[in-house]
Amino acid sequence: MPSRISAIYITSAIWVLLMATALMTRPHLPVDETRYLAVAWEMWLRSDFLVPYLNGEPYSHKPPLLFWLMHAGWSVFGVNEWWPRLVAPLFGLGCLFLTRSLSHALWPDDKKAQDLSLLLLTGCLFWTLFVTLTMFDMMMAFFCLLGLLGIIKAYVQRQHIGIVWLVLAIGLGVLAKGPAILLHILPVGLTAPLWAKRMAGLDQHPPFKALHWYGMLLFSIAIGVSVAFAWAVPAGIAGGDVYQHAIFWGQAAGRMVKSFAHQQPFWWYTVLLPVLILPWCIWPPLWKALRANGKSFWRDGSQLFCFIWFGTAFIAFSLISGKQLHYLLPEFPALALVAARCLSQFKEQLKPSRLFIVIPVLVFMLLAILLLLLPTGVIPIKMPVWSGDVDGLGGLLLLVISIFALLSNRSDWVGSSLRMTFLPVGFVVSLHIALAPVLWSRYDMRPISMQLKAWEDAGIPLAILGKNHGQFQFLGRLTKPLTTVGQRNNQLPNFLRDHPTGHIVAFYRKVPTQATPLAVYPLRQKFMVIWDAKTVAQNPGIENRN
């Protein structure tokens, strides 16, 4: 059985494997990753670290912490592409250490649960897929764990450092992704008298008076929010009225009342959650353990802590109109902790068996076969145009990993869980290898970005037809915004009139044939086409995207 210290080494090594695979097989993905790089790059160019900018306009969709951390690395290593890709994933690595610490705080004497929590979290398919991406939610998960650990330190263990951690978690969490951090932390803090009295070891300290605790909690929230306001107030003044309204309202309350994007029905998370936590939801021993320990859920304050943490956030995000799957990432450790505790306390005399892993292995074998068949064209349903570029080596690797997981021995539940973890980790690695040719040919924005940079250096005016997501700014190291045309009346005619030697980037499902473009680049299942202004002026309607 892996020891407690070896479990963190194993999961950390898995993180290194995932990151190495991602860095070697995947470019910066549009539109999110390239957009965040563009914002950091434009702030760097302007030497303005107060207000984020995108294409010359204040960027209000996200707070600045991720961009600041990118700048910190650039100031040490110089401007490069690899450091920004490590920033958010490093928080994912940090989540492993905080999850272990939280498990120890909840169940100090259960070392097996501490091992299992790391393996179960690392083995969640969606967590493993997401941990390598340049996004904000791993940062949010890290600060959520830090804040919850601070609550336990403060309320249960009576350590003042817990309040410091809670303040930092709230303040930095707001700077990472806005006030949503309170949805992840505050319900657990408000219900501390409920779950804490059921935790072992609380009798070592005198009872906590409710007025005292809620005063400390309110103080922590006030100081934490003040940390964020220390940036938001001057940034709002510097960014103007529209930017000020957006950061104080549009990205918080406005999203909750009626989202401007990503609207989904309230049951959306409920339907998709089983897929996100594969393969654990189809692993029979876990269901047996949950059923065997079901009666202890409400008696065990530590498990109640996890249920309040997950349940309140799950309900809140289900009721909010704007939904993305990664909004729930900060709650995945709660599921891993409960499942780990139940498995560690599983009293039934049932030894790990190959039969228990058959169903999960079959699922991943089917995925392996799908990856193997994609490039052959024998699948009897319509597949994307890029399916022929898939590398079958990825499917073969996943098939070998699945067979290994099935045939390997299991001496205990920790060892069995470790082998289950190999399945989603193997799938993510294999998926990167299989899709590498597709990603580099259809998602790599470097070629067009470098071409735009050459034209910018030559003094050629550049425009983009439609919304500019910042796909080209960082990868091309562009120093000027691209003119946006086509979103309002007269934008395109004015550009053609004022810049007759300019070039225009447009996006199409099919490349128009009535004229010859300057260049064509594939993008997903579409094409990026570059026209010179003269061609667009001579072919009215060519700018209409099909």
In a domain, 126, yes or no: yes
Q: Which amino acid is at 21?
A: T
- Check the CA dihedral 49-54-56-60 and report its sign: negative
- The per-residue pLDDT for 245 is 83
Give, rounded to a whole angstrom, the gap between the first and last alpha carbons of the chain.
59
Residue 2's pLDDT band (cuts 50, 70, 90): very low
Who wins on pLDDT, 492 or 544? 492
**Residue whose entry in the numeric block shows the structure tokens 């699922």:** 363
DSSP letter assigned to residue 246: I
In whole angstroms, give the CA distance from residue 494 to residue 56: 19
State the average pLDDT over residues 171-188: 95
Q: Mark whether 286 and 406 lie in a shared domain.
A: no
Q: Is the dihedral of CA 103, 107, 108, 110 positive or negative?
A: negative
Q: Which of 372, 407, 442 is the last residue of a domain?
A: 442
Question: Is 436 contained in some domain?
Answer: yes
101 in the same domain as 205: yes
Average pLDDT over residues 445-456: 96
Mean pLDDT of 184-191: 96
Read off the pLDDT of residues 273-313 as tens digits, 9 standing for 90 and up: 999 999 999 998 888 888 887 777 778 899 999 999 999 99
Q: 112 Cβ partners below 8 Å, 6+ apart?
A: 1, 340, 343, 344, 413, 414
Residues 19, 106 within the same domain: yes
- Given 344, 371, 406, the domain boundary residue is 344
The pLDDT assigned to 356 comes to 79
For residues 302 and 292, give the distance between their C-alpha atoms in angstroms, rounded to a whole number: 17
Task: Give the residue, 524 or 181, on which the prediction is more confident.
Answer: 181
The pair of structure tokens assigned to 533 is 């202004």
Q: Are residues 368 and 380 in the same domain?
A: yes
In this structure, are residues 536 and 542 in contact, taking their beta carbons and an 8 Å threshold?
yes
Per this entry, what is the length of the chain?
Answer: 546
At 410, is the pLDDT very low, low, confident or very high (cuts 50, 70, 90)? low
Compute CA distances 506 → 55, 355, 415, 538, 542, whole Å.
Answer: 17, 54, 53, 16, 10
What pLDDT does residue 336 have? 97
Structural domains in the chain (count): 3
Q: Are residues 437 and 450 in the same domain?
A: no
How much is the mean pLDDT over the chain?
Answer: 90
State the Cα–Cα distance between residues 85 and 91, nearest whole angstrom.
12
Clarify whether residues 463 and 525 are in a common domain: yes
Tell me 515's DSSP state. S
Does 519 map to a domain? yes
Q: Summarize pLDDT for 24-46 with one digit per residue, the tens.
A: 999 999 989 999 999 999 999 99
Q: Is the per-residue pLDDT at 1 higher than 50?
A: no
| DSSP structure string for 444-456 | --HHHHHHHHHHH
Residue 266 lies in a domain: yes
Predicted confidence (pLDDT) at residue 250 exceeds the cutoff of 50 = yes
Extract the tokens encoding 183. 């949805």
Same domain, 420 and 458: no
Residues 180 and 314 in one domain: yes
Q: Which two tokens stand for residue 479?
A: 């120093």
Query: Which residue type, as a one-letter code, is found at position 275?
Result: V
Q: Are residues 191 and 71 in the same domain?
A: yes
Specify whether 334 is located in the same domain as 407. Answer: no
Tell me what pLDDT residue 351 has: 61
Rounded to an integer, the average pLDDT of 65-88 is 97
Q: What is the mean pLDDT of residues 355-367?
A: 90
Residue type, 334: A
* Residue at 54 is within a domain: yes
Q: Which of 425, 442, 459 is at the close of a domain?
A: 442
Q: Is 19 helix (H, G, I), strand (E, B) or coil?
A: helix
At 465, is the secondary structure helix, strand, or coil? strand
**Cβ-Cβ contacts under 8 Å for 212 (sequence gap 6 or more):** none
Task: Inform me whether the pLDDT recorded for 353 exceeds 90.
Answer: no
Tens digits of per-residue pLDDT, 321-348? 778 999 999 999 999 999 999 988 876 5
b vs e for 251-290, b when ≥16 Cβ sit within 10 Å of the residue's Cβ? bbeebeeeeeeeebeeebbeeebeebbbbbbebebbebbe
Q: Is residue 544 in some structural domain?
A: no
Among 210, 90, 224, 97, residue whose Cα is nearest residue 165: 224
Say which residue, 438 or 202, is predicted with more confidence: 438
Q: Say what the pLDDT of residue 458 is.
A: 96
Contact criterion met (CB below 8 Å) for 2 and 418:
yes
The string of pLDDT tens digits covering residues 200-220 is 655 556 667 888 999 999 999
**Whole domain around residue 510: which residue ranges?**
446-538
Query: Residue 352 pLDDT > 70, yes or no?
Result: no
- Is the distance from CB of 129 to CB of 18 less than 8 angstroms? no
Q: Let me know if residue 349 belongs to a domain.
A: no
pLDDT given for residue 202 in this prediction:
54
Residues 180, 241, single domain; the answer is yes
Residue 377 dihedral angles phi and psi, to the nearest 5°:
80, 15
Strand partners, 520: 529
Tell me whether residue 248 is exposed, middle or buried, using C-beta atoms within 10 angstroms of its C-beta: 0 to 12, 13 to 18, 19 or more.
middle
What is the percent of the chain where pLDDT is above 90? Answer: 71
Let me know whether 413 and 278 are in one domain: no
Give domain status of residue 510, yes or no.
yes
Q: Quick: pLDDT tens for 88-118.
A: 999 999 999 999 999 999 999 889 999 999 9
Q: Which of 40-54, 160-174, 299-313, 341-355 has the lowest mean pLDDT?
A: 341-355
Q: How far is CA 173 from CA 193, 229, 446, in A?
A: 24, 12, 32
